[in-house]
Amino acid sequence: MQHVLRVGRLGRRGARRRAGRRYRDGLPRRRRGPGRVVGRLPHLATDVRLRRGGAGAGGTDAVVSLLPADQVPPDAGARPGLTLEDTRWLLTDIAENTDQASSVTAVPAGVRSTLVLTGGRVAAFLGCNQARGDAEVVRDRIELGPLMTTRMACPGPEGEVEQQVSTVLEGSVPWSITGDRLTLGEGALQLIYTAGS
């Protein structure tokens, strides 16, 4: 479904003021010019973009897609060409959230944890042990089967990271990509990966 919003000429502040009055959302001001982002409408899951062509006298149409937030693909903000599957993901940060506070901690130096999904399978290095199993991507979730892991003892930082990774990589795991960063999990614990080697 689409909605067409009539605004003024490209780049005119008056057009943006009219758009702001129309929606009353306090649109953040952005760079002017054709094809520039005017602002994000909080009740829409898309930006409003101005573009040339198709305009009547004295105006230009800005076409926005009305998409409920739960219908926006989880990789909508991904770097062009980057996909969840067939990419080697390197764990860089771990986010912990409570009712009182949230914190993001970098993976300790010397600790490496990776994740690869391909062909309905997942392969992960948890921090000390290897893990493999079935994985099915269903919209914004990765449905993981039981993971088969090696059984090395993991003291120190490697063991701590492995415990957190293992906690998230279980069952139905929410995912999203922004730029070149993959976030897995929700609630109290989230894993943040970067596309790499």
Segment 179-191, tens digit of pLDDT: 999 999 999 999 9
CATH number of the domain to which 173 belongs? 2.40.128.270
Q: Same domain, yes or no, for 67 and 132?
A: no
d(CA 181, CA 77) in angstroms, rounded, equals 10
Mean pLDDT of the chain: 76
Contact 196, 90 (CB under 8 A): yes
Q: Are strands 60-65 and 102-106 parallel, antiparallel or unpaired?
A: unpaired
Q: Give the range of the structural domain holding residue 153, as residue numbers without chain letter.
A: 77-195
Q: Structural domain tally of the chain?
A: 2
Q: Same domain, yes or no, for 22 and 107?
A: no
- Residue among 112, 104, 194 at smallest CA distance from 157: 112
Q: Same domain, yes or no, for 149 and 82?
A: yes
- Average pLDDT score over residue span 36-63: 47
d(CA 197, CA 195) in angstroms, rounded, equals 7
Of 71, 94, 128, which residue sits at a domain end?
A: 71
Q: Regarding predicted confidence, which is higher, 101 or 170?
A: 170
Task: Place 64 in a pLDDT band, splitting at 50, 70 and 90.
Answer: low
Q: Same domain, yes or no, for 66 and 81?
A: no
Q: Same domain, yes or no, for 64 and 83?
A: no
- Average pLDDT score over residue span 86-112: 95
**Is 80's pLDDT higher than 50?**
yes
**Is 36's pLDDT higher than 50?**
no
Q: Same domain, yes or no, for 107 and 188?
A: yes
Percent of the residues in the chain that have a pLDDT greater than 70, as a whole number: 63
